[in-house]
Each structure stands twice: as C-alpha cells, then as structure tokens.
Chains A and B, each alone.
Chain A
Amino acid sequence: MTVLFGQLFTGISIGAVLLLIALGLALTFGQMNVINMAHGEFIMAGAYTTYVLQQSITGAGLSLLVALPVAFVVAGTMGVLLEILLIRRLYARPLDTLLVTWGVSLMLQQLARDVFGSPNVQTRAPELLTGNVAVPGGLTVANNRLFILALALAAVAALTLALRFTPLGRRIRAVVQNRDLAAVSGVPTARVDRTTFFLGSGLAGLAGVALTLLGPIGPTMGTNLIIDAFLVVVVGGIGQLKGSVIVAFALGVLQATGEYLTTLSVAKVIVFVAIVAFLQWRPQGLFTLRTRSLA
C-alpha cells in the first residue's frame, strides 16, 4: 500500500516535471502555433543560469530563489530575440520555422559547450531540498519533488489568472482566437506575439532551474526533454492550457504505474502506444479551441 502511494506520488511528480517543461510550449506552440525546437535549449539556459549564479551567490537556497526570476528573464529574452530575428519572418511557414529553430537549438548547444565545456556541471541544492518528509503510513515524499510540484502549480495558476484577468491576457486570447479580427480591432498583434513568446520562453527558463534539482546540467539536456514537452501539448490539445495540465499528470501516472509493473523501457512503449491510440480517437487532442474563425 505504501509502495502504491509512493508510486502515485512519483507519477504526480513526473507529471509536474512534464507540465513545467511543456507549459511554455503550451503558450508558444499551443497558442501561437510556432514549432520551436529550441525550447529545450531555453530550459538549458535556465539551468546554466542557476549554475552561473551559484558562482557568485554562495548560499544554495538563496541562489536558487534568485535564479528563478533571473532564469525567467534570461530565457525570455532569448525567446524574444529569436522571435524578432527569425520566427517573426516565418509565421506563415511552419516547416521553415521548424528547421530554423532546430538549427538555432544546435547552435545554442554548441555555444553552451564552448562557454561551459562539454562535461556536465554541478549545482548545489539547498539541504532542505535534498531531504524528504515522512507522511503517516511509512511513506516519504521527496522535498525537491514537492518543490517542483508547487512551482508547476504556481506557474499554471499565475498563467491562467494572467490570461483570464489581465489586459495582456485578453489580448493574447483575442489573437489566438482570431488574429485578423484582433488586428482590425486595434490589438497590436506583433507586440502581443512577442510578449507571448517572452512568457513561453521564460517558463522554459523556470523549468531549467527546477530541473537542476533532478537531473544533469549539460549542453544536451534540452534535447532529452523536447519530445516529452511536445507530446504533452499535442495530446492536450492546441490552444488550451487545461489540456496540457491534465495530460501531463495523466502521462506521469501512466508512466510511473507502467514502470512499476514492468520496466522503464516497456513503460515508455506503453505511454507511446496510449498516445497513438488516443490521437487516433481524438486527433485534435483532449481539448480544442472552438472559434468562429474560418482558418
């Protein structure tokens, strides 16, 4: 029973990681329909930001807290630069965007290699986040997993509120639902696109900070994550945040359960088969945006 709950929590925490890496994509791919293959490298940028900050800020806890906003801005700025320099010119050409951003992703990886070296680097986690808390019933829950879960949920909440209640959010929704109508109504779509891209890339930076607590920090860390991130957004449905949230946790629990009952490799197969089957049934994903636009 303890193991069962442990596994349930593991599944939820895998889901939280998936959610965190996919949230930014849910904005840029989901809302703007830009296939950004360099999203994983923005995550990497967030992780390296943590590493760089730790060189000057010695307290592991403090540096992690500082890294969250700084990584958001660093990755967000990289995203805006990418948008201004390349993606903006390619909005109607998805295939070109894909190839160009893939190229950018390779260049960023090489840049990281040149600046930080090809071996992985280490960051120190605050002692508090390397321990665990005991829950009655013999179950222990890892603190870093709790932190990531909290961070993911906070990011979702903030994003949802921003989209629903702020003027910016209203403009983003307007552009997503009907770009032309938004434009003729006086919404500056180009600026909205740029802001959306900043937010989406910034969220990738946040994910990078969180991932320093779990996995390797190296030039290729982004490539391992990008496929999972796209899976979540595609299955969740384009243009909807709630789809990504539900799918992230569902895939996490499915992965953890499958892995517990079989092996890691088989669990991955199970997850992929489930996704393929699901997309056969609902090719548009879990939720779709209903609009009156003709596109």
Chain B
Amino acid sequence: MSVLWGRRILAGAMTLVAAAAMTACGSKTSDEGGAAGVTADVSGDTVKVGLLNSLSGTMAISEVTVRDSIMLAVEEINAAGGVLGKKIQPIGEDGASDWPTFAEKAEKLISEDRVAAVFGCWTSASRKAVKPVFEKNKALLFYPVQYEGLEQSPYIFYTGATTNQQIVPGLDYLKAQGTKSVYLVGSDYVFPRTANKIIKAYAAANGMTVVGEDYAPLGSTEFGTIVNKVKSSGAKAVFNTLNGDSNVAFFKEYKSAGLTAAAMPVVSVSIAEEEVKGIGTQYLEGQLTAWNYYQTTPGAANGKFVAAYKAKYGADKPTSDPMEAAYVSVYLWKAMVEKAGAFDVEKVRGVSDGITFDAPEGLVTVDGKTQHIAKTARIGKVGADGLITEVWNSGKPIAPDPYLKTYPWASGLS
C-alpha cells in the first residue's frame, strides 16, 4: 500500500468528519403538511404536552438537565391534581442537537400527538428552526434559556432572560464597580456576536471603552493567543460569551497567565452551576456570572425546588438558571390555562398578561405583549465549593425589553 493511497483515504475521512460536524448547522425547516391551527387533543382525561430537548449529541449535556426539571414540574402538578382536572401526559422527543430534527419533531408533536404546548429548545439555532413550525400551526412553545433578544414570536413564551435582564445588568454592575474598559471574548456564532453588538453600544453611551474583541470557533480549545491579547490590553474586566468546552480552555489559560478575578474579573453569561463542575473551581473561584437564578438564591420556593430536584435526581446534581426557567415555564402554562379556563392556544395567549408565579428565582410576571417574563437580574460570584453566590441583584424584577426600545443607546441596533 503506497503512502499516497493512505493519505487519499485520510483526506476522505477528514472530509467525512468535517461534514458530520457541519450537519449541526444550516438547513431550513420543511414547509410541508400541517393545516394551519391544529387544535390540541384534550378529549380524554389527560392533556398531552410535548417535551423537545436534545437527549443526544453535543447539547445533551445541558438539555438533559432541562428535560429533568420539566419532568419534575409535570410530576408535581400531576400529584397536585393536574391542570383543569386533567393529568399532564408528557410526550418526549429527542432533538438530537440537530436543528432540522428539532423542526421535524416539533411538527410531529403538534400534528400527530396534538399536544397543548411544547416545552424545550436550548440553542437559538434550534429555536429559530422550530419558530416557523409553531407559527404556521398556531401552537405554543415555552423556551427556557437566556438568549440574544431581538425576537418576539406570538407563539413562543420566553421564560429565560432577554438581554436587558442579563447582559445589560451585568454591564451596569461593572459600571457601578468603576470599570472603564472591557475586553470581549466570545464564541463565533449568533448569540455572542449579537450580545457584543449590544455591549459595544452600551459602552459607547456609558463612558466605557471596549479595548478588544475576539471570537473563537465553537469547540475551540486553544486560547494562548487570546489570553495574551487580553493580558496586554490593559482591560479592567472581561465580558465572556464563550459557550461549551471553550470555557474550560479559556479559564485554564487565564489562570496560568497570572490573571486573577481580583485584578481583571471575567463576567460570564453561559457558565452556570453545572458548567462550574466541568471547568474546575480551582480556575473559576472569584469570577463573576450574570443570571437570574442560582442554586443558592434565598427563599422558600427555591428551597423546595432544590430539595425536590436533589431527591429525584441525586444529591450531587446542582440546579441552574435554565433548569429553573424550564421548571417555571410549566407552572406558568398551568396558570395561563387555568385563567383561560381552556387549553385553546389563542385563549391561553389572550390571558397571559400579568400572570405571576412565586418561582425559585423570586416572583416572575408574564408580560403579555412581548411574551417574555419580568425577572430579577442577579450577579453572582463562584465560590470554592463550586456554587455561585449572589453579590448584587436588580432589587426588583426587570420588565422584559427584547428589542431594547427603552434604552436610548440601543436605537441603532436592530
């Protein structure tokens, strides 16, 4: 066998690997089938809901925890008598970390299973993929993860934070600390790029300087150069929108370059309790995060949630912001259905404004106009035990503003 022959085969294999990696992006949703406005089947003594999360593939790490918390909420509600006298029958589908699959499974849940609502999705890419499916069928999706804002679909309820409930408060906190210059580090896709556009507009209006901006491809684990750039930039803080494994490499490099949370804190928006475990407290201790909920958030509702979750899934399993938002989304749907007195999507949407729930994160209120929810922003600090403790909060729930219309500095964004 010649050397060149081996190389040619290798080239083919590499193409295959690259292609496998790329099926994760691209591709549009199908437009076939599904008459507009499939009505949910609620004729029996149960009501079906769809759970659409990635149980396999690269996103499974995160999305399984969301599925677990949705199931917890469903079981609690069923144990307490169900919704409008009907037990919830959850129908789970695996989105498989593949956006076209999400669209396909959403169509199946709506048209075949005729569920009353769907709970799930994590990445913005998966949400963008299923959005037309829900809009075409006039069906409901509850989306539980913080995201980049600038979206408002009539058939999606967003129970995670939009930018003005997470990123903007994070910047407010840095400003209050007297931070005059920031360095932006993010993964190279829609969320970090949009977030950084917002951060730059904020900085320009608030006397902050963005001294540098760097993006790493998703999955990239070589941060020597970026950390060198950060170090020599003289920035006072880093705003980190990296996602996934890149965070591990980034923080290990950060520490070994001699950068510390005291001298140059990093504010992260994608590192929750679960991720802290995977990166190592040795590298993260003292660094900051921006979320709306931590496992340590005080209050009876959270005590109950954490205890129930650990009892069901194991004492070593932490609870995190997206999990909490997913748990809350089921209760919010229940409250809307009960207020409407029906499972009908349009009726549920019609009564959503002003619905409140005493959530683990504190009181949340649904804003009927944007279909986002008012949430309290919380800045936390990673402790030696791997948990995150709050160092600052917004004092009261912040009204959602996905298009940042109430912020004059954001007028140039769209």
- Give residues in A with beta carbon < 8 Å to B: 2-3, 6-7, 10, 13-14, 17, 29, 33, 35, 37, 92, 94-95, 98, 102, 118-125, 129-132, 140, 142-145, 213-218, 220-221, 223-224, 226-227, 230, 234, 238-239, 255-256, 259-260, 263-265, 267-268, 283-284, 288, 295
A94 touches B6 (CB 8 A): yes
Choose from A7, A120, A131 the contact partner of B278 (Cβ within 8 Å). A120
Q: Write the chain B residue with the least CB distance to A18.
A: B222
CA distance A129 to B281 in the complex (A): 15
Interchain CB contact (< 8 A) of B228 among A3, A37, A129, A265: A3
Q: Please indicate the chain A residues that have their CB under 8 angstroms from the CB of B5 in the complex.
A: 94
Q: A9 — nearest CB in chain B belongs to which residue?
A: B224
Partner of B245, one of A14, A37, A142, A218: A218
Considering the chains assembled together, what is the distance between the CA atoms of A230 and B10 in angstroms? 8
Q: What A residues does B253 contact at CB under 8 A?
A: 142, 214
Task: State the CA gap A244–B215 with chains docked (Å).
Answer: 29
Contact B256 A131 (CB under 8 A): yes
Question: Which residue from chain A places its CB closest to the CB of B7 in the assembled complex?
Answer: A234
Q: Can you list 6 residue pairs at the A/B interface with Cβ under 8 Å? A: A10-B225, A120-B245, A142-B256, A259-B225, A260-B228, A284-B4
Given contacts A94-B6, A98-B13, 6 further A-B pairs with CB under 8 A are A6-B228, A33-B1, A142-B257, A145-B256, A216-B245, A284-B3
Point out the residue from A130, A264, A267 that lies within 8 Å of B255, measured CB to CB. A130
B61 with A118: CB separation less than 8 A:
yes
Pair A130/B282 contact, Cβ less than 8 Å = yes
B37-61 interface (Cβ within 8 A of A): 58, 60-61
Give Cα distance in the complex from A221 to B61, angstroms: 14
Min C-beta distance of B111 to chain A, whole Å: 31
Report which of B9, B10, B64, B217 forms a contact with A268, defined as CB distance below 8 A: B217
Question: In the bound complex, what is the Cα–Cα distance between A120 and B215 (angstroms)?
Answer: 22
- With A37-B13, A120-B245 already in contact, the answer to whether A14 and B222 are too (CB < 8 A) is yes
Binary per-residue interface labels of chain B (245-285) against chain A in the complex, 1 for a CB within 8 Å, 0 otherwise: 10011001101111000000000000000100111111100
In the assembled complex, B79 has its CB within 8 A of some CB on chain A: no
Chain B interface, number of residues (Cβ within 8 angstroms): 49
**A263 B215 Cβ-Cβ under 8 A:** yes
Q: How far is B61's CA from A253's CA once the two chains are assembled, in angstroms?
A: 34
* Residues on B with beta carbons closer than 8 Å to the beta carbon of A118: 60-61, 64
Q: Which residues of chain A have C-beta atoms less than 8 A from B222's C-beta?
A: 14, 17, 255, 264
Indicate if the CB atoms of A7 and B221 lie closer than 8 Å. Answer: no
Question: Which partner residue on chain A sits nearest B4 by CB separation?
Answer: A283
Q: Does B354 contact A (CB under 8 A)?
A: no
- Chain A residues within 8 Å of B7, by CB: 234, 238, 283
Closest residue on chain B to residue A118 by CB atoms: B61
The verdict on B389 contacting chain A, using a C-beta distance below 8 Å, is: no
The answer to whether A260 and B229 touch (CB under 8 A), given A132-B256, A140-B257, is: yes
The 5 closest A-B pairs by CB, nearest first: A120-B278, A122-B280, A10-B224, A216-B248, A142-B256
Let me know if B278 and A121 touch, CB within 8 A: yes
Does B179 sit within 8 A of A, measured CB to CB? no
What's the minimum C-beta distance from A226 to chain B, rounded to whole angstroms? 8
Give Cα distance in the complex from A160 to B390, angstroms: 55
In this assembly, does B216 line the interface, its C-beta being within 8 Å of a C-beta of chain A?
yes
Q: CA A139 – CA B274 in complex, angstroms?
A: 35
Q: Does B2 reach chain A (CB closer than 8 Å)? A: yes
Contact residues in A for B229 (Cβ distance below 8 Å): 260
From A37, A119, A220, contact of B277 by CB (8 A):
A119
**B19, CB-defined interface residue at 8 Å:** no
B228 touches A122 (CB 8 A): no
Does chain A have a CB within 8 A of B14? yes
Residues 1-30 of chain B: 1 if any A CB is under 8 Å from the residue's CB, otherwise 0? 111111101100110011000000000000
Q: Are A13 and B220 in contact (CB under 8 A)?
A: no
List A contacts of B221 (CB < 8 A): 214-216, 224
